């Protein structure tokens, strides 16, 4: 079976991007986005929000640093990875995150649409 790890999410940025620059010259940006699903339950429409952790690198991190704020609408394409770590209390934590390989954003405040892709 040939399966691919590919995801596309459309949502709004929910946290200011955290930017890190490494001694190697690489740059990383991390932020969260919210996506909404609407379901009809007992005749009423219910909105359910999911939160996603996003990590992007290098040129896309540069784009995030200069163009992305809380509330910016984005389309992220990439892949899902799962990580485990121990918190300060020693508890095992598991997280999923999206490694973004392309980003399209729409700055709602200025109503400008732009598309940026990894070179």
| pLDDT (average), residues 89-108 | 90
Q: What's the rounded Cα separation, in Å, for the pair 75 and 72?
A: 10
CATH superfamily to which 7-117 belongs: Nucleic acid-binding proteins (2.40.50.140)
| pLDDT (average), residues 67-89 | 94
Angle at 103 between CA 35 and CA 70, to 5 degrees: 55
Domain boundaries, the chain: 7-117
User: pLDDT per residue over 15-72, tens digit each?
Assistant: 999 999 999 999 999 999 999 999 888 999 999 999 999 999 999 999 999 999 999 9
pTM over 0.85: no
Mean pLDDT is lowest, of 9-13, 28-32, 73-77, 106-110, for 106-110
């Amino acid at each position: 079976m040939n399966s691919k790890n590919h995801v596309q999410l459309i949502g709004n940025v929910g946290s200011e991007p955290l930017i890190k620059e490494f001694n190697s010259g690489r740059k990383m940006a991390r932020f969260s986005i919210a996506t909404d699903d609407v379901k009809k339950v007992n005749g009423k429409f219910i909105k359910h929000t999911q939160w996603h952790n996003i990590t992007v690198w290098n040129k896309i991190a540069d784009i995030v640093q200069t163009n992305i704020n809380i509330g910016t609408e984005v389309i992220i394409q990439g892949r899902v990875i799962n990580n485990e770590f121990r918190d300060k209390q020693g508890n095992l934590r598991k997280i999923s995150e999206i490694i973004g390989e392309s980003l399209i954003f729409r700055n709602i405040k200025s109503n400008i649409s732009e598309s940026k892709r990894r070179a």
